[in-house]
Amino acid sequence: MPRITQAQKERNREQIVRAASEGFKLHGVDGVGIKDLMQSAGMTNGGFYNHFASKEDLVLEVYRQGFADSLAAVSAIRADHADTAESALGAVVDTYLTAAHRDHPETGCPSAALPVDAGRHGAAAQGAYRDGLEGYFGNLTELLTEHARQTGTELAAEDARRQAVAVFTQMVGAIVVSRAVAGADPTLADEVLAASAHQLGR
């Protein structure tokens, strides 16, 4: 049997990470076994260990890649709204607090899809989640600082950081709460998103 090329091996690894990301975000880390995710990736169970030493290693990669993708989207938003920090801040909030993000966790940010799993799966998972949060906190801190500069408002570095943490944790909380009731009360689920977006836009 011919050996696979390095390029094919990398594609296989990407397929595994993609299948795991979608599965973990939909069902939780403990809700998806290696056999299931390898079937989702279209590969045999035994091939998993050609790419990852353990499921825990895969979990860390899902966090890393998921946050990297989300932060790349934030960078794109900032580039598209480079005129003012206020417009960029609003676009980040509005893009995050959408019904589409709420209703499709499998394609969304791990910040709102996998926080409980990070808390349950030890220091390494928490560290990967923390790194992703810090990426968001850093972006929002920069935007808040730039907004203060553009509007002639005095804002100390520690206050900008404090506001950034509060803004992003409210965004995450809004998605989590909205998801928790979306099936039982879609109107309330939408209200949660709208109220949070309104409050953060003030």
Tell me whether residue 30 is in a domain. no
| Domain region containing 155 | 54-200
The one-digit pLDDT tens for each residue of the chain (202 residues) are 457 788 888 899 999 999 999 999 999 999 999 999 999 888 888 889 989 999 999 999 999 999 999 999 999 999 999 999 999 999 999 999 999 999 999 999 999 999 999 999 999 999 999 999 999 999 999 999 999 999 999 999 999 999 999 999 999 999 999 999 999 999 999 999 999 999 998 6
In total, how many domains does the chain have? Answer: 1
**What is the CATH number for 121?**
1.10.357.10
13 token code pair? 């690894």
Within a domain: residue 176? yes
The DSSP-derived string for 156-200 is -HHHHHHHHHHHHHHHHHHHHHHHHHTTT-HHHHHHHHHHHHHHH
Domain annotation covers residue 119: yes
Q: Is residue 102 part of a domain?
A: yes
Q: Is residue 147 part of a domain?
A: yes
